[in-house]
Every structure is written in structure tokens, then in C-alpha cells.
Amino acid sequence: MNNEPSNENKIRLETIDLSVFYGQNPGVKNVSLQIFDKQVTAFIGPSGCGKTTFLRALNRMHDLTRGARVTGKALIDGTDIYDPKIDPVTIRRKIGMVFQKPTPFPTMSIYDNVVAGLKLVGIKNKSLLDEVCERSLRQSALWEEVKDRLKTPGGSLSGGQQQRLSIARALAVEPEVLLMDEPTSSLDPQSTNRIEELIGELKHQVTIIIVTHNMQQASRVSDNTAFFYIGNLIEFNKTTKIFTNPDQKRTEEYITGQFG
């Protein structure tokens, strides 16, 4: 229900000539792109096209990758996240991420997993943590299934439940932007539906970027779509436009399944 026209054009995140290198090889080349506030942006493209690499650059996940180097700018609300004066931790508190595979913390209970982002930075207020835990698990559509066993290990859940747990954990710290790297690729159709519904609900509060292999998914959940091919951004536009009348021939070929 996004009727406010002012939101339509507010830029939340913007990259200018952003490139990511692995050693000497560019994984992503000179991408300039705007992400609009409280909208869902999908990144699509064939395997190895750089969409995940680009996504990971948006909250400095490459800092830990050996030999990875990022050039260009990535601005959130006008602040360059690659500014040497910026602490990556403050960036990542604003820009959360959900990974392709579920990543529950192995030794922690369901409860501790969800509130880890708060508890481990020193928030001890039990009633606040309880509240955040319930809210986050409800948002990720997991609450009803786990509310009676919050103390059991997060690793005891099924794969789909673990993924929703990972999403709840990301939401618990109330990020302003949520990066989702193929969040449903390891899920069954039912869990996938739930995650897609969740994205629809969340976009009123959070700016979402989702990498997906599934073009139907991109067309269902996103407002804007970016098509990547061999490290280049080929086309970026409204999702309806991309899927009905793309400007680029390559985009059309990919959408219609002629390659990829």
C-alpha cells in the first residue's frame, strides 16, 4: 500500500561507479544504481553475473574476503560506507543481511539466536528482549511453530525454519535496509510463499534488496529490478517495465529464457 508519491523518489542507497575486484579480476564493474526508500529492489541475472558480489558490497561483507577490493562509492543517506572514517559495524547495524543458506549460531537457543544482535552488545532488559523476540519471530512467520520451545537449540529446526530464524534475527536489530541473498533458494514452496509474503509486509518499514534466481519471484515481490550480466549492470527499471517491455535486448533474451 505504498501510495505516498514522496517515497517513490527518495533515494536511500546509491552506488557510484562501484567495482569489486577479486585479485585483479573485476567481479562487478562500475555499477551506478539507486535504491529507493521502502521499496523492494530485485537483482536478477545468470549465475556468476555479479549480483551477489554487488549485494555483499553494500554492507561491507567483502571486508572479510581475502583479496577482495572495492572501488567507487556506496552512499547510504549521502554517507559513503567505504569512507575510512566509517566503522563497518555501524553500517551493518543499519544494513542487515540474510544469506542464501540458513546460519543459526550453533550453540544458541532459538531465543538467543533471535536476540543475539541486541544481547551481545549489552542489552539486558529481559522484557524488551522478550518483546523483540516475539515481534521478530511473528514477522518471519515462525512464532506459532516455536513459541513453546524457544529454549531449544536453533540448529534443531528444519531448514526452512532455520532460514526464517535467520530472517527473524536480522529483523530483531531493526535494520533500515535488508539485503537478502537468494533467501528462498533452500526452502520448500510453502516456506518460500511465507518469505515472499513477509517481504510484502516488511517493505512498509524496511528498504529491501533481494537477489534471486527465480524470475517469477522477482516479478512477484519487487518494485524495481536490476539485471546484471558478466559483472555489468545491463538495465535497471521498474519491475513491470523490465518484465513487459525491457529497453535492452540482452534483458529481453534473459527474461524470455533464451540464455542464462
Task: Label residue 85 exposed, middle or buried (CB < 10 Å: 0-12, 13-18, 19+).
Answer: exposed
Q: Does 101 bind other proteins (CB under 8 A)?
A: yes
| CB atoms inside a 10 Å sphere around CB 83 | 12
Backbone angles phi, psi at 74, to 5 degrees: -130, 110
Other C-beta atoms closer than 10 Å to the C-beta of 94 total: 17
C-beta of 21 vs 253, nearer to other proteins: 21
Residue 185: count other Cβ atoms within 10 Å of its Cβ.
Answer: 15
Could you say whether residue 230 binds other proteins (CB under 8 A)?
no
Residue choice 138, 173, 248, 260 for contact with other proteins (CB under 8 A): 173
Rule CB under 8 A: say whether 157 interacts with other proteins: no
Binding residue for other proteins, selected from 33, 61, 142, 195, defined by CB under 8 A: 61
| Alpha carbons 202 and 171: distance in angstroms, whole number | 10
Q: Which residue has the cell 555489468?
A: 232
- Shortest separation between residue 117's beta carbon and other proteins, angstroms: 4
Residues 6+ apart with CB under 8 A from 35: 11, 12, 13, 14, 41, 177, 207, 209, 224
79 touches other proteins (CB under 8 A) = no
**Is 106 near other proteins (CB under 8 A)?**
yes
**Binding track over 2-31 against other proteins, x by CB under 8 A:** ------------------------------
Contact predicate 173/94, CB 8 Å: no
| Angle between helical axes of 159-172 and 110-119 (0-180°, round to 10) | 20
Window of 93-101, 128-136, 146-154, 193-201 that interacts with other proteins by CB under 8 A: 93-101
Which helix (H) or strand (E) is 108 found in, with range? none
User: Of the candidates 103, 185, 205, 237, which one interacts with other proteins according to CB under 8 A?
Assistant: 103
CB atoms within 10 A of CB 33: 19
Near other proteins by CB under 8 A: residue from 31, 108, 210, 211: 108
Strand-strand pairing, 95-98 and 79-80: unpaired
- Compare residues 155 and 260 and give the one whose CB is closer to other proteins: 155
CB of 60 to other proteins, least distance (A): 8
CB of 210 to other proteins, least distance (A): 15
177 lies in the site for other proteins, by CB under 8 A: no
Considering only 21, 22, 82, 105, the residue that binds other proteins (CB under 8 A) is 105
* 172 touches other proteins by CB under 8 A: yes
Determine, following the binding rule CB under 8 A, whether residue 183 of this chain makes contact with other proteins: no
Residues that bind other proteins (CB under 8 A): 59, 61, 64, 66, 88-90, 92-93, 96-99, 101, 103, 105-108, 116-117, 120-121, 166, 169-170, 172-173
